[in-house]
């Protein structure tokens, strides 16, 4: 399973990248706005900076919702860097645009996916990635990881090439369960990635090893 970081924060991206386990980055308009980025030039520059930091796919989301608008924006985003993946919402015009991008060799990430039916449509349009939002599904008392398993099963059965990118990750257990469910990619906030490191027995064991190591000197 590939690890993407789900943020537009440059210092968090650097911290995850320095671990040596980062395969890519996803952003969305809320994450970009949180960093105080305003205006097309600043947005494009920010994506370029991320692409120069991380050697892997970087999802950049379109802001338009019409077929023509999404295609125009996506073409410009794709020109920023070869690793840009155009992120497109799961709407009717979005599906049309994903098909257009597929036919024109531009990589896509179909976002805001909450059902297996939506995931089938994204795959039929040739999306490179499909992003089911598992945390937001859990928020409504449904099981987000169950949806990941269902989509993985459908894609394997049907031979769809679209990669399942588990999004809206809220904790380290989500990452573990997505790995079990066969997700191709998990896009995570930094605290969820760092949470994977934690175990009290590791801390206690190391504490004792350090004490014993000192007694040997």
- Cα-Cα-Cα-Cα dihedral of 67, 72, 74, 75, to 10°? 130
Interface with ligand E4P includes 187 (CB under 6 A)? yes
- Angle, helices 92-103/116-124, rounded to nearest 10 degrees: 30
Number of residues engaging ligand E4P in binding (CB under 6 A): 11
Q: Do 147 and 159 touch, CB atoms closer than 8 A?
A: no
Interface with ligand E4P includes 195 (CB under 6 A)? no
Give me 7's structure tokens: 């943020």
Q: Single out the residue of 56, 64, 69, 135 in contact with ligand E4P (rule: CB under 6 A).
A: 135
d(CA 65, CA 118): 17
Query: Beta partners for 188?
Result: 5
Interface with ligand E4P includes 111 (CB under 6 A)? yes
Interface with ligand E4P includes 168 (CB under 6 A)? yes
Active site residues: 87
Tally the residues of the chain: 217
Q: Single out the residue of 100, 101, 114, 133 in contact with ligand E4P (rule: CB under 6 A).
A: 133
Residue 8 CB neighbour total at 10 angstroms:
26
Q: Single out the residue of 17, 118, 131, 192 in contact with ligand E4P (rule: CB under 6 A).
A: 131
Residue with smaller CB distance to ligand E4P, 85 or 159:
85
- Cα-Cα-Cα-Cα dihedral of 90, 92, 93, 97, to 10°? 60
Give the shortest CB-70-to-ligand E4P separation in angstroms: 16
Q: Single out the residue of 77, 167, 178, 183 in contact with ligand E4P (rule: CB under 6 A).
A: 167
Give me 185's structure tokens: 């990619």
Residue nearest to ligand E4P (CB): 168
Interface with ligand E4P includes 162 (CB under 6 A)? no
Residue 156 CB neighbour total at 10 angstroms:
11
Q: Single out the residue of 136, 150, 194, 195 in contact with ligand E4P (rule: CB under 6 A).
A: 136
Q: Single out the residue of 26, 44, 107, 128 in contact with ligand E4P (rule: CB under 6 A).
A: 26
> Binding residues for ligand E4P, per CB under 6 A?
6, 26, 28, 111, 131, 133, 135-136, 167-168, 187
């Amino acid at each position: 399973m590939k690890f993407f970081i789900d943020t537009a924060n440059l210092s968090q991206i650097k911290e995850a990248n320095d671990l040596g386990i980062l395969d890519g980055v996803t952003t969305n308009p809320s994450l970009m706005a949180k960093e105080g980025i305003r205006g097309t030039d600043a947005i494009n520059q920010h994506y370029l900076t991320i692409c120069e930091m991380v050697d892997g796919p970087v999802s950049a989301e379109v802001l338009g919702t019409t077929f023509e608008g999404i295609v125009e924006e996506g073409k410009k985003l794709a020109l920023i860097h070869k690793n840009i993946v155009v992120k497109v919402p799961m709407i009717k015009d979005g599906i049309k645009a994903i098909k257009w991008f597929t036919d024109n060799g531009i990589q896509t990430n179909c976002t805001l996916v909450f059902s297996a039916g939506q995931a089938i449509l994204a795959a039929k349009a040739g999306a490179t990635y499909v992003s089911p939002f598992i945390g937001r599904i859990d928020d409504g008392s449904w099981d987000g990881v169950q949806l990941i398993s269902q989509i993985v099963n459908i894609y394997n059965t049907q031979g769809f090439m679209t990669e399942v990118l588990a999004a809206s990750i809220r904790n380290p257990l989500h990452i573990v369960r997505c790995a079990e469910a066969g997700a191709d990619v998990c896009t995570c906030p930094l605290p969820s990635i760092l949470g994977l490191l934690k175990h009290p027995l590791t801390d206690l064991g190391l504490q004792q090893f350090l004490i014993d190591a000192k007694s040997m000197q």
